[in-house]
Amino acid sequence: MRLLPWGPGDLLRRLDDVLSVYGAAMGYSPELLATRRGYIAAHAHRQGFRAVASVTDEGTLAGFGYGYLSGPGQWWHDQICAALPRPDRIWLADCFELVELHVHPAAQGNGLGRTQLRALLEAAPGRTVLLSTPEADEATSRAWRLYRGFDFVDVLRGFRFPGDERAFGVLGRPLPLPSRV
């Protein structure tokens, strides 16, 4: 397995593979994935864009992650900003938004998510990093254990995005990433 830094062109060239891993990891339908294609393609052109990919020796995409600088006028940023009390909006002032981090279910449990997250955060611009993830039992959820292992703290819990019935936790941590995490 190789971890590769990706630029916008790399993500766009492998967009079908990205959507396949994303869909498998999240259990999303092909119809929902079709709506996400345009969003992901547009994200590749945002300021501060960083991406990584875990690729097998045969070239199969096993996982990926990406993010960019969050800012006013971006949908996720504006949703979170409106929900946070004014003092907590400092989290968004110079923030790297970790948009996606996924490992194909067949490749999970081998540390790929941790490796991808570390690589993204080590290269991330900004003073903070924020992400949203579906609420889950923190003891059994791989995602929650991963983020807690990187010292992410609760910024907002039980948040509901328009058009999604699930509750989400918004987690954050300061940057840069210390070498011990």
Per domain, the residue ranges of the chain are 2-174
Is the distance from CB of 99 to CB of 46 less than 8 angstroms?
no
CATH superfamily of this structure's domain 2-174: Gcn5-related N-acetyltransferase (GNAT) (3.40.630.30)
> What type of residue is 143?
A
Per the rule left: phi > 0, alpha: psi between -120 and 50, beta: everything else, 8 is alpha
Residues 6+ positions from 157 with CB-CB distance below 8 Å: 135, 167, 169, 170
Q: List the helix and strand counts (H, then E) for the chain.
A: 6, 7
Q: pTM to 2 decimals?
A: 0.95
Q: Is 22 a catalytic residue?
A: no
Average pLDDT over residues 27-45: 93
Q: Answer whether the bond into residue 176 is a cis peptide, omega within 30°.
A: yes
Q: Which of 22, 66, 68, 147 is catalytic?
A: 147
* pLDDT tens digit sequence for 38-47: 999 999 999 9
Is 179's pLDDT higher than 80?
no
What's the CA gap between 175 and 148, in Å, rounded? 15
What's the CA gap between 131 and 119, in Å, rounded? 16
Is 71's pLDDT higher than 80?
yes
What's the CA gap between 27 and 18, in Å, rounded? 14
Is 86's pLDDT higher than 90?
yes
* pLDDT tens digit sequence for 131-166: 999 999 988 899 999 999 999 999 999 999 998 899
Look-up of token digits 């070239």: 59
What's residue 181's pLDDT? 60
What's residue 163's pLDDT? 85
Is the distance from CB of 172 to CB of 129 less than 8 angstroms?
yes
What's residue 152's pLDDT? 98
